Homo-oligomer: A and B are copies of this chain.
């Protein structure tokens, strides 16, 4: 289940609170994304076809609900990135993050801390 960029916008809005109507989704899109209402509808329809979302009618209005969890979608996206850009392994990503000045020491420390504690929990 690969989402396109535009579809991510929709899903992000939908995950925020659902079920939701197309108009609600529209209102929750980030400022700067000024799509026509029908654009949202088109995207939602495509997402329904893709089985990423369900559609239910209430009176004459469709109400949408995510079928794919945010966690799952994130995992897919993360894996794809790993496969595509980091040889499919966490090692190279780690390396990259370590090299990367773009992230603050604080961010890195936080990441490290959480991962560390997680690792402890599971015991090696």
Contacts and interface: CB of A to CB of B under 8 A. Distances in A.
A74 B87 CA distance: 11
Interface string A81-124: 10011110011011111111011011111111111111100111
Contact of A90 (B71, B95, B110): B110
19 contacts: A8-B84, A71-B96, A71-B99, A71-B100, A73-B85, A74-B86, A77-B85, A90-B111, A93-B111, A94-B110, A94-B111, A94-B115, A97-B114, A97-B118, A98-B115, A98-B117, A105-B122, A109-B124, A112-B116
Given A85-B73, A107-B90, A124-B106, A95 B114 contact: yes
Given A90-B107, A112-B113, A115-B115, 15 more contacts: A8-B85, A74-B96, A75-B100, A78-B85, A78-B96, A81-B81, A90-B103, A93-B111, A94-B115, A95-B114, A97-B114, A98-B114, A105-B122, A108-B118, A109-B115
